[in-house]
Every structure is written in structure tokens, then in C-alpha cells.
Amino acid sequence: MEDDGLLALIYRSRSRTVAELATVAHLDPADVAARVARLEERGALTVRDGVLAYPHPAAWSARVIEDHTGALRASAIAATSQIEQLVAQLPALLSHWSVGEASGDVAPVFTRHGPHAAEDLWYDTSSESMGSAWGVFPNVERFLTTDPARAARFGAAFAGKQSVRGLVPRSIVEEPHLVAMVERYAEAGVEFRMLDALPSWFWIDGDILALPFEWGEGWPTSVLGVRNAPLAALGRSLFDELWRRSEAIGVTEHSWTPLLRHMRRGVTLDSASRALGINPRTGRRRVAAAMAHYGVSTLFALGVAWAADADQSVGGEGAVGER
């Protein structure tokens, strides 16, 4: 008889002692005592002075789940701390390497300095792929001082990405002008989420990881980027954990939302893409991502699922389709 089977017998028989349980189970008392000890370790019952006591299954299961959840949470926090420590050490290590893409290094390093260093690095080295660009921005105010030409270039570059995510401080909700800025970027398909404590400015674009010279800076004036897929994956792991802990901002929307809004009015996917300033291929990728998100296979089903989603604000019939 397995331990769980013995526990089921305990519940049915309400045996008071190990000896009584051994008699009911037709098992050797020593074997029953060992099984009872294992069940006690699991929290399924207790033994005091040879007397068995067994709490309600829901109560001890909840306790076990809570303990395991706490252990997993502690493990995740510890792992995140270790990842952050590794990322924080990279600038000092990479600063000793040769600078420049043509250096022949396994991981070419690029550096920029000055008030626009953080932007310049991204403009000059960002991946041209249609993949993802994720960044952590503890100092959102800096975006407001970017001149219109730079902002337009920033938006145009992001328009070609399939996934663009940004983590910002929770205090953003207390500043209407910052919320308005987030709304403008959200219209271009950028997803923002907020978190109380952001460790530092950094971003990952394709296989490039960008870091400040001094880890912890909110908007650095000396930055470096390294083109190396494993290091970018390390930064992405840190971002993933921060993103998991973060909360959505009310105006945040998926990259496909502006497309579906246009298509709902009867506009074709390609026309909607061009109207938003993105390549039609990017538009098709975003719609494909939306279909995967909602678990549907047709544009009509996507429109219905999207309209029914409580997270998006447009109600009514929501079918979308090509004309």
C-alpha cells in the first residue's frame, strides 16, 4: 500500500493509533509507523504520544502549497539577485575589452558618452531585425526632453519591431504628463508596465545588451553595448523576471491593438499597417501573435475574441477581416 493509499484508509477508518491502523491495514506495525512518519513530514497528519491527529485535507494542502510557494518565491528572488549581480558586473569587465564592431572580439563592445548617450547607443547599434526590444527606464522624465526629430526617429525604429516593452517606475501614474507620454508610445505599439523598484537603466535589442557604466543609474551619460547572444539572453532573463513582477498601466495595450482598431473599421491589414507607419510584414506578424494569444485561427474569430477581451476598451461587435 502506498502512503497516499494509507492516508485514504486513515480518513475512512479514523484509526486513533499506529497499532489500530496496522490492524485495519493488515500491515506490519513497523512499516505503518514509517509510513505515518512520512505523512507527518508532509503535514498530512500529526502524532502526539502515539495518538494520530489529522487536519482537514484542504487545510494541510493549503499550508503545503503556501510553504512551497514561499520557497519558490525565495528561490526566484535569489536567482534574480544573482542575475542582476552578474549583469551589474559586466560594465567593469567589458570596459577592458577592445571597442568597436570591427575589433574581431567574440563580443564587440560599443561605448557612447554625453547627454544623449543612452539614445545614441540604441540608434547606432540597435538590431534591424523584426524581433523584440525591451528596456528598463527608471528615469522617464528624460523622454520628455527628447527633441521631436529624435522622438520621430525613435518611433520609426520601434515601428518595425514585433515586440517592444518598457518597464517604468510606479510613480508614473502620479504624473499626468508622463501618463500622456506613455499613451503616445502605446499608440505606436509599445507595451509599458510599472514596478516599484527598478534596478537600473538597461535594454536588450536582438543580441545586443546595453548597460550603464555605473549600474543603478536611471538615465546614464556613459553607456556601453555588447553584441553577444548569451549576454543578451542574460539581460533578457533579468528583464523577464522584472516584467513578471510588474503591473500593467491602464493605457498599456498590445502591439496589435492599433492594427485591430483600424481593421475593425473595414481597413485591410496591409492598409492598416501602412496607416500606422509599419511594414505590412510586421503587421502580419503582430496579427499572427494576436491569434496565438487568443487561440484562434481566423481574422473573424480574432475580432470576436479581441472585442470580448475585458482588457481592451472598445466594445460592441468586433469582427475584423480583409476587403
Q: Is the dihedral of CA 302, 193, 88, 219 positive or negative?
A: positive
User: What CA–CA distance (Å, rounded) separates 27 from 47?
Assistant: 18
Specify the pLDDT at position 312: 42
Count the neighbouring beta carbons within 10 Å of the beta carbon of residue 165: 21
Task: Report which DSSP code applies to 271.
Answer: H
CB 199 within 8 A of CB 84: yes
- 196 CA to centre of own chain: 15
174, burial (CB in 10 Å: exposed 0-12, middle 13-18, buried 19+): exposed
pLDDT digits (tens, 9 = 90+) for 229-238: 888 888 888 8
pLDDT at residue 323 tops 50? no
pLDDT band at 167; cut points 50, 70, 90: very high
> Residue 209: which of 229, 230, 225, 222 has the closest Cα?
225
Give the pLDDT score at 174. 73
- Comparing 83-97, 114-128, 282-296, the range with the smallest average pLDDT is 83-97
Q: How far is 289 from 48, CA to CA, in rounded Å?
A: 57
User: Lowest-pLDDT range, 53-57, 134-138, 294-298, 311-315?
Assistant: 311-315
**What grid cell was written down for 268?**
485591410
Instruction: State the architecture of 3-54 in CATH terms.
Output: Orthogonal Bundle (1.10)
User: Among 118, 89, 86, 81, which residue's Cα sits nearest to residue 242?
Assistant: 81
The pLDDT assigned to 130 comes to 62
Overall residue count recorded for the chain in this entry:
323
Cα–Cα distance, 65 to 274 (Å, whole number): 50
For the chain, the structural domain boundaries read: 3-54, 97-248, 257-308
CATH fold group of domain 97-248: Endonuclease; Chain A (3.30.870)
Mean pLDDT, to the nearest integer, of 251-264? Answer: 74
